[in-house]
Structure 1
Amino acid sequence: MPTLSESPFPDNGPRIVGAATAVPPESYTQREILDLYGITDPRLRSLFLSGAIERRHLTLAPPAPGGGPSFESQGELLAKHRRTGLDMGRRALAACLEEIGASVDDVGYLCCVTTTGLLTPGFSALLIKEAGLPSSCSRVDVVGMGCNAGLNGLTTVAGWAATHPGRLAVMVCIEACSAAYVFDDTMRSAVVNSLFGDGSAAVAVIADAPGGAGAESSAPPGRARGPRILKFASRVIPEAIDAMRYDWDDGHGKYSFYLERDIPYVVGGSVEEVIGRLLDGTGLRRSEIAHWLIHSGGKKVIDSVRVNLGLTRHDVRHTTSVLRDYGNLSSGSFLFSYQRLAAEDVVRPGDFGVLMTMGPGSTVETALARW
């Protein structure tokens, strides 16, 4: 393993200094959802109960008088996306800043990531107004990229931090997945409805200021323990471009999300190549990666990635536990896993970690980090 003195990466690059999450107050077991809406079809019940998910936080419509969920128009779903998303995002941002002893006035750059609805102006402008961030705060919205988008957003945050040393950049992933549901008796809808949950995650990044007065020298002790972001690598699978997508459903008058049955295996079959490129030139072998923080895309996705990379169940323990407790949280899932790893207090200085997300495109995004 390369020593610190032999590392091909600068020792003052952007570092993750804090992360926090937020979810809606209401949560449901898979069985409670089935019973709430009177779903009796054995195929659908089996789908809900066999996916390694125990509970999800959701913002659900009440049951209709005749059974099943009440109809929500596309306009009502967009309103839910804004209302629920802004509440979660504001709480995740506030908790992240509190963790690192920073205030909203310290934020110089804000990236907001979402796929579960379209807003203009987007969440970045809304959060600047609602959370009281400086009006001079630079911002960007990453919209419609799906579950992989957390690392696409982190790329922009790390890049801004690297060119503005000593200044704080924040990414907030905001996914109100229950604002993107279609309810009917099809397997297509049931796959989506059984998998996704609502959640937001915020992560703070800073690079050392000139002369060393940056994240490690001026921050509270807890902020220096996060990893430096060393490198990113991507893999787009054009032949699977339609495997994960939003379609307009004329029958329901709203957007409907589609997941192809075999996409977990397509994604899993692509991860070895992208990890090879991520580690190329670093002197690292895959076996020297101590921590794997992988998007909780679903049981089949996790198993496929694990088998193709030769990982143990222990390696993906945070990924599977987040899936169990929250479902698929789309772009912010990997930060829920990051938070669980941080809470374990098992990371040691010099440890390397890989962050991985997967989503529409079809795409695998990765990042290499070092504590």
Structure 2
Amino acid sequence: METPTTLLLLFLPLLLTLTFLLKRKHSTTCYMLNYECYKPSDHLKLDTEASCRVVLRNTNLGWEQYKFLLKTIVSSGLGEETHSPANVVAGREADPSLPDSLQELDHIFFQTLDNLFAKSRVSPREIDILVVNVSLLSPAPSLSSRIINRYGMRSDVKAFNLSGMGCSASLVAVDLVRQLFKTYRNRLAVVVSTESLGPNWYRGVDKSMMLSNCLFRSGGCSMLLTNRPEFRHRAILKLNHLVRTHFGSNDEAYNCCIQVEDDQGYAGFRLTKKLTKAAAQVFVINLRVLLPKILPPWEIIRFIFVYLRWGKRKNKLMEALSGGAGGGLNLKSGVDHFCIHPGGRAVIDGVGKSLGLSEYDLEPARMALHRFGNTSAGGLWYVLGYMEAKKRLRKGDRIMMISFGAGFKCNNCLWEVLKDLGDANVWEDCIHRYPPASLANPFTEKYGWINDERLSFVRIEDCVFSSNA
């Protein structure tokens, strides 16, 4: 007969293994407690009149450049209520200063963090990990140090400052936190995602670099994450999967979205026609890894038959996703909502077509682009906020976030909703107006019309060129 001591020794390895696995499960879990999007002041709005004034201040532009710019604005998908940095509104975009740049970020950092800490009932001194991502400004001391100084955070806080990561940086930061949670148990982490636009306003005439002025607007978001199991009942989302794909080894993809100087020495951000091709290629690579993780087995098996049947056709994966290959992959079997980076109308349309999504699925991204513009790394959270404000998010729902960024990168993830969501957020004062009857940009009515590739101004007193120029 075995003694109690012998039995204990026999079961001790099993007990230790189970304990390790349970601890590992807790430590690798990533919950979101809250997020807070930035809402700029009304005096920073870039409506049609303000946009026209900014355009006309650039004396380097000729008639062809003006025509291109205004056509782009008309078709951009942006509305009347987007915002720009204070130095642009004040007419100082040609000569930005470091104080202007830091003030722009301070407003975003401190408004979102103040609200986040208050809403979450968490003190800044409780934060264990801080990740800040701003691609186009990297001062010394770092931006993360600026936040630590402002809030008096602890000396042992693990601080990270990410730059140059582009519009997809937000999910890069979340993934960094997720990886740190594997090592550090029972932690609280803050991620701050935004962009420095003020010192990066393009003043030249290169059309591929003028696009950024038409699309990018002020915005940002701060998020509170944790792996503390006792906080699960307070959490709103749980991160189930996150896949990062980097296509930078491809020269065409690397150069399609890049910060450069033009031939006249003006710095800016170049967006080339190769961007859509690069996005499609890296999207396919990412989905090959992500979809098996988020779709039920029966849907994967059905997709394999479709994939093999159409194996010789080009873009077979994307065709199968959208139904073009005959079978069509049903993403709704594993995803309830699609949170697409509002990088521009072409990006939203492209993702919608590739995945066979409905206008209902694309509505949050289109509305975020219309109301706030392309806010770079902060954009995904305005889309999420729209879903919450519309009370679409219910307990158990799954949200697929889709983001693209310079590099070229595609970072996608799946969140699980842990409770019915509908709290007041950045959309509170305007959600009743969305979706509007029309997304047409008012430039068409106020400053001209487009007919057979010809744009003519109807308010010559407000603009320097007429249709006879």
TM-score by length of 1: 0.85
The answer as to 2:344 corresponding to 1:298 is: yes
> Secondary structure of 2:56's partner?
coil
Alpha-carbon shift at residue 184 of structure 1 (Å) = 3.0
Alpha-carbon shift at residue 62 of structure 1 (Å) = 6.3
**Cα deviation code 1:168-215 (max 9, x no counterpart):** 101001213232112234323321110101112011111234xxxx21
Matches within 5 A, 1:245-324: 245-249=258-262, 251-252=264-265, 255-284=267-296, 286-288=331-333, 289-324=335-370
The answer as to 2:132 corresponding to 1:112 is: yes
- For the structure 1 residues 29 and 323, does the alpha-carbon distance in structure 2 shift closer, same or farther, using more than 3 Å as the test? same
Alpha-carbon shift at residue 42 of structure 1 (Å) = 2.0
The answer as to 2:372 corresponding to 1:356 is: no
RMSD of aligned alpha carbons = 2.4
Aligned counterpart for 1:58 among listed residues 69, 75, 84: 84
| Contact 1:162 1:207 (8 Å CA) reproduced | no
**Cα deviation code 1:248-286 (max 9, x no counterpart):** 45734x632111124134313542442231122444352
Q: Which runs of 5+ in 2 are unaligned?
A: 1-23, 58-62, 300-330, 418-469
Q: Which residue of 1 aligns with 2:312?
A: none
Equivalent AA in structure 1 for residue 111 of structure 2: R
| Contact 2:403 2:412 (8 Å CA) reproduced | yes
| Contact 1:271 1:308 (8 Å CA) reproduced | no
- For the structure 1 residues 100 and 362, does the alpha-carbon distance in structure 2 shift closer, same or farther, using more than 3 Å as the test? same
Aligned counterpart for 2:56 among listed residues 14, 19, 38: 38
> Secondary structure of 2:82's partner?
strand
| Contact 1:30 1:194 (8 Å CA) reproduced | no
Counterpart CA distance in 1 for 2:214 and 2:187 is: 41
Identity of aligned residues (%): 19
**Cα deviation code 1:311-335 (max 9, x no counterpart):** 1121122211111111111111111
Q: Which residue of 2 aligns with 1:208?
A: 228
Q: Which range is displaced more, 91-100 or 157-166?
A: 157-166
Counterpart CA distance in 1 for 2:49 and 2:188 is: 43
- For the structure 1 residues 312 and 265, does the alpha-carbon distance in structure 2 shift closer, same or farther, using more than 3 Å as the test? farther
Counterpart CA distance in 2 for 1:18 and 1:110 is: 15
Q: Which range is displaced more, 276-285 or 96-105?
A: 276-285
| Contact 2:93 2:199 (8 Å CA) reproduced | no
Q: Which residue of 2 aligns with 1:164?
A: 184
Matches within 5 A, 1:337-352: 337-352=383-398
Counterpart CA distance in 2 for 1:72 and 1:360 is: 24
| Contact 2:400 2:413 (8 Å CA) reproduced | yes
Counterpart CA distance in 1 for 2:370 and 2:339 is: 15
Counterpart CA distance in 2 for 1:162 and 1:17 is: 18
Q: Which residue of 2 aligns with 1:235?
A: 245
Q: Which residue of 1 aligns with 2:73?
A: 48
| Contact 1:19 1:339 (8 Å CA) reproduced | no
Counterpart CA distance in 2 for 1:51 and 1:320 is: 11
Equivalent AA in structure 1 for residue 84 of structure 2: L
- For the structure 1 residues 72 and 149, does the alpha-carbon distance in structure 2 shift closer, same or farther, using more than 3 Å as the test? same
> Secondary structure of 1:194's partner?
helix
**Cα deviation code 1:209-265 (max 9, x no counterpart):** 4xxxx2125xxxxx33x221122112222321110111145734x632111124134
Alpha-carbon shift at residue 51 of structure 1 (Å) = 0.6
Q: Which runs of 5+ in 1 are unaligned?
A: 1-8, 218-222
| Contact 2:215 2:374 (8 Å CA) reproduced | yes
> Secondary structure of 2:78's partner?
coil
Alpha-carbon shift at residue 151 of structure 1 (Å) = 0.6
The answer as to 2:351 corresponding to 1:335 is: no
Counterpart CA distance in 2 for 1:277 and 1:77 is: 44
- For the structure 1 residues 292 and 10, does the alpha-carbon distance in structure 2 shift closer, same or farther, using more than 3 Å as the test? farther
Alpha-carbon shift at residue 362 of structure 1 (Å) = 1.1
The answer as to 2:27 corresponding to 1:27 is: no
Counterpart CA distance in 2 for 1:281 and 1:35 is: 49
Equivalent AA in structure 1 for residue 292 of structure 2: D
Counterpart CA distance in 1 for 2:74 and 2:205 is: 16
Q: Which residue of 2 aligns with 1:87?
A: 107
Counterpart CA distance in 2 for 1:150 and 1:316 is: 20
Counterpart CA distance in 2 for 1:322 and 1:99 is: 23
Q: Which range is displaced more, 192-201 or 28-37?
A: 28-37
Alpha-carbon shift at residue 93 of structure 1 (Å) = 1.3
Richer in helix (by share): 2
| Contact 1:272 1:309 (8 Å CA) reproduced | no
| Contact 1:271 1:309 (8 Å CA) reproduced | no
> How many pairs align?
346
